[in-house]
Structure 1
Amino acid sequence: MDNKYIFKILLHIGLGAMLYFINIFPKLFFYGVIVYFLFQIIVSPKKDKITEVLKACAYLVGAEVIFRMTNAGIFYESSKYFVIIFVLFGMFYNGVSNKSYPYFLYLICLVPSIIVAGVNIDFDSNLRTNVAFVLSGPVCLGISTLYCYNKKISLKQLLDVLLYLALPIVSLTTYLFFYSPSIKSILSGTQSNFAASGGFGPNQVATTLGLGMFVFCVNYFLNSKTLTLKIINVILFGAISFRGIVTFSRGGVITAIIMIIAFLFVIYSKTNWRQKNTILTSLSLLLVFSFAVWVISSNQTEGLIDKRYANQDITGKQKKDVSAGRVELFTGELEGFFNEPFVGVGASGMKEQREETLGRVIATHNELSRLLSEHGILGVIILLILIIHPLVYRAKNKSNYFFYACLAFWFATINHSAMRIAAPGFIYALALLNIRNEKRSLHRKRVIQ
Structure 2
Amino acid sequence: MEKSSLSYLYLILFHVFIGVLVFILPLISTLYTLSIVVFGLAFIIKSKNKNNEVLIMSAYVIGAEVLLRMTGGAILNEAGKYIIMIFMFTAIIYSGFSNRAFIYWVFFIFLIPGVIVSVFSLNFDTDIRKAIAFNITGPVCLGMCAIYCFERRISYERLKSVITVLSLPLVSTAVYLFLYAPSVKEVVKGTDSNFLTSGGFGPNQVSTVLGLGLFIFFVQFLLNSKNKLLLMINASFVLIFAFRGIVTFSRGGVITAIVMIALLLMVLYYQGNSRAKSKIGVVVIITFLAGLGVWGYSSLQTSGLINKRYANKDALGRVKKSKLSGRETLIASEFQMFLDNPILGVGVGKNKEIRKEETGINAASHNEVTRMVAEHGTFGILDLMILLFTPLILFANDRRNIFALSFLAFWFLTINHAAMRTAAPAFVYGLALLSVVAKKPEKEESTLN
Pairwise same-fold verdict (TM > 0.5): yes
In structure 2, the partner of 1:12 is: 15
In structure 2, the partner of 1:302 is: 303
Residue 358 of structure 1: CA displacement? 4.1
SS at match of 1:196: coil
In structure 2, the partner of 1:73 is: 74
Q: Does 1:379 align with 2:380?
A: yes
In structure 2, the partner of 1:416 is: 417
Aligned mates of 2:12, 2:242 — CA distance in 1: 16
Q: Is the 8 A contact 1:221 1:279 kept in 2?
A: no
Measured against aligned partners, the alpha-carbon deviations of 1:200-219 in whole angstroms (never above 9, x if no partner) come to 10000000011100010011
Q: Does 1:235 align with 2:258?
A: no
- Correspondences of 1:22-41 after superposition (within 5 Å): 22-41=25-44
Q: Is the 8 A contact 1:250 1:309 kept in 2?
A: yes
In structure 2, the partner of 1:318 is: 319
Aligned mates of 2:141, 2:418 — CA distance in 1: 16
Measured against aligned partners, the alpha-carbon deviations of 1:395-420 in whole angstroms (never above 9, x if no partner) come to 22221101110111111111111111
Aligned mates of 2:433, 2:225 — CA distance in 1: 25
Q: Residue 30 of structure 2 aligns to which amino acid in structure 1?
A: K
TM-score normalised to the size of structure 1? 0.95
Aligned mates of 1:122, 1:82 — CA distance in 2: 30
Q: Residue 375 of structure 1 aligns to which amino acid in structure 2?
A: H
In structure 2, the partner of 1:198 is: 199
Residue 394 of structure 1: CA displacement? 2.0
Q: Residue 36 of structure 1 aligns to which amino acid in structure 2?
A: F
Aligned mates of 2:345, 2:293 — CA distance in 1: 49
Aligned mates of 2:414, 2:283 — CA distance in 1: 28
Q: Is the 8 A contact 1:255 1:413 kept in 2?
A: yes
Q: Aligned in 2, Cα 1:223/1:358: closer, same or farther, shift over 3 Å?
A: same
Residue 46 of structure 1: CA displacement? 5.0
- Correspondences of 1:8-157 after superposition (within 5 Å): 8-44=11-47, 46-48=49-51, 50=52, 52-157=53-158
Aligned mates of 2:392, 2:12 — CA distance in 1: 35
Q: Is the 8 A contact 1:166 1:211 kept in 2?
A: no
Aligned mates of 1:378, 1:111 — CA distance in 2: 9
Q: Aligned in 2, Cα 1:90/1:439: closer, same or farther, shift over 3 Å?
A: closer
Q: Aligned Cα RMSD in Å?
A: 1.4
Q: Is the 8 A contact 2:156 2:437 kept in 1?
A: yes
Q: Residue 399 of structure 2 aligns to which amino acid in structure 1?
A: K
In structure 2, the partner of 1:159 is: 160
SS at match of 2:189: coil
In structure 2, the partner of 1:389 is: 390
In structure 1, the partner of 2:179 is: 178
Q: Residue 114 of structure 1 aligns to which amino acid in structure 2?
A: V
Residue 329 of structure 1: CA displacement? 1.0
Q: Aligned in 2, Cα 1:355/1:320: closer, same or farther, shift over 3 Å?
A: closer
In structure 2, the partner of 1:218 is: 219
Residue 365 of structure 1: CA displacement? 1.1
SS at match of 1:435: strand
Aligned mates of 1:393, 1:127 — CA distance in 2: 37
Aligned mates of 2:95, 2:230 — CA distance in 1: 34
In structure 1, the partner of 2:260 is: 259
- Partner residue of 2:5 out of 2, 8, 13: 2
Q: Is the 8 A contact 2:48 2:91 kept in 1?
A: no
Q: Is the 8 A contact 1:345 1:376 kept in 2?
A: yes
Residue 55 of structure 1: CA displacement? 1.0
Measured against aligned partners, the alpha-carbon deviations of 1:250-290 in whole angstroms (never above 9, x if no partner) come to 00000000000001111111111122222322333333222
Aligned mates of 2:326, 2:361 — CA distance in 1: 15
Measured against aligned partners, the alpha-carbon deviations of 1:311-338 in whole angstroms (never above 9, x if no partner) come to 1111112223211111221111000001
- Correspondences of 1:265-304 after superposition (within 5 Å): 265-304=266-305
278-287 vs 2-11, greater mean Cα deviation: 278-287
Residue 74 of structure 1: CA displacement? 2.6
In structure 2, the partner of 1:444 is: none
> Unaligned regions of 5+ residues in structure 1, if any?
441-449
TM-score normalised to the size of structure 2? 0.95
SS at match of 1:376: helix
Number of positions where the alignment pairs a residue of Structure 1 with one of Structure 2: 438
Q: Residue 233 of structure 1 aligns to which amino acid in structure 2?
A: N
Q: Aligned in 2, Cα 1:45/1:329: closer, same or farther, shift over 3 Å?
A: closer
